[in-house]
Amino acid sequence: MDESSPALAVDIGGTKLAVGVVGNSGRPVTWGQVPTPRDVDAEQLWRTVEALIDRVLDEAGLTVPGSLAGVGAGCGGPMEWPAGIVSPLYIPAWRAFPLRRRLRDRLPGVPVRVHNDAICLTLGEHWRGAGRGKGNVMGIVVSTGVGGGLILDGRVIEGASGNAGHIGHVVVDPDDGPVCECGVRGCAAAIARGPALAAWAQGQGWRPDQPDASARDLADDAAQGHAIARAAMRRAGQALGIAIASATCLCDLEVVSIGGGLSQTGALLFEPLHESLRAHAKLPFARRVSVVPAALGQSAGLVGAAALILAGDRYWAGD
């Protein structure tokens, strides 16, 4: 472990909850994760988070507050920032849930900072991953939702309400796309988020008898050569390629780093994505963008949540 105190990092997404103890090297030294419980109320979900925190702190042999530099948490958006009052689109149990206050009450005496989970991934990738040393980076999480974060001209972009980075709600197919959870037709997320992909594939005849088949199953089948599953991955890649093209023209990005479960599928996602990006971003400056899987893999979000604390001078502009 690093000599300086580590941070407790919390990552709350629509698919999984993860908690880790992260040192200054940017590696989680102790961590745990559980599936995000469904059909629970706000307090039941909070108790699941609390239990995971307790378990990880216990396994790490850490007592609070003395041994921690602070607590950084990423949570699905949108949220009131920096108050950390969260209403994650794909976690209906939490609407205006005071996550930051709850974490403070539970872990008193150390700084507690909450930001969008995809902004945390972006920070992680900028701090210790694929965006290291670059000034203009977008991070994307492709999972239950499609989230994002922006670092432009070397600084984290917060926007008017701390919600900058919502790449999943860039419109890519306004005429024929499915309607998004947010109510808009043709958002990138409405096409490319895992459950939407699985639903589309089922509509095409994939695993018709398994209503619970997931995007992970879809990716597995695509890897095995299943035609509909491959078409679904292609569809996701095309939608993400258009959204990334638009974001690259708008923000003059250098690196786009993609994390989340679906980012682990390699060429199945990235080949159609790159093809679509090339077709939709042709201005010379926009052609230079590099789109890569998150170098920190599935821990990018946790590492970035820790960066809110361990590199707070660079990455935290809230109170």
Residue number, 4 or 161, with CB nearest to a second copy:
161
Q: Is the Cα dihedral 67, 70, 76, 80 positive or negative?
A: positive
DSSP 202: H
Residue number, 109 or 159, with CB nearest to a second copy:
159
Nearest approach, Cβ of residue 121 and a second copy (Å): 16
Nearest approach, Cβ of residue 315 and a second copy (Å): 13
Nearest approach, Cβ of residue 139 and a second copy (Å): 13
Residue number, 40 or 182, with CB nearest to a second copy:
182
SS3 for 183-206 is CCECEHHHHHCHHHHHHHHHHCCC
What are the structure tokens assigned to 83, written together? 């108050």
Structural element, H or E, at residue 272: helix 267-280
Nearest approach, Cβ of residue 159 and a second copy (Å): 2
Residue number, 6 or 129, with CB nearest to a second copy:
129
Interstrand relation of 155-156 and 146-152 (parallel, antiparallel or unpaired): antiparallel
Residue number, 62 or 157, with CB nearest to a second copy:
157
Tokens 């001078």 belong to residue: 313
Nearest approach, Cβ of residue 79 and a second copy (Å): 9
Residue number, 18 or 190, with CB nearest to a second copy:
190
Q: Omega of the bond prior to 108 within 30 degrees of 0, cis?
A: no
With CA atoms as reference, report the closest residue to 189 among 228, 240, 238: 240
Residues 319, 82 contacting (CB under 8 angstroms)? yes
Nearest approach, Cβ of residue 280 and a second copy (Å): 5
Query: What is the CB-side half-sphere exposure of residue 9 using CA atoms within 13 A?
Result: 38
Residue number, 182 or 292, with CB nearest to a second copy:
182
Residues 128, 22 contacting (CB under 8 angstroms)? no
Residue number, 153 or 209, with CB nearest to a second copy:
153
Residues that bind a second copy (CB under 8 A): 78, 87, 135-136, 148, 150, 152-153, 155, 157-167, 169-176, 182-184, 242, 245-247, 249-254, 279-286, 288, 317
Mutual orientation of helices 227-251 and 267-280 as an angle, nearest 10°? 40
Nearest approach, Cβ of residue 152 and a second copy (Å): 5
DSSP 30: E
Q: 114 by DSSP, 3-state: which? A: strand
Nearest approach, Cβ of residue 316 and a second copy (Å): 13
Distance of CA 258 to the CA centre of its chain: 9
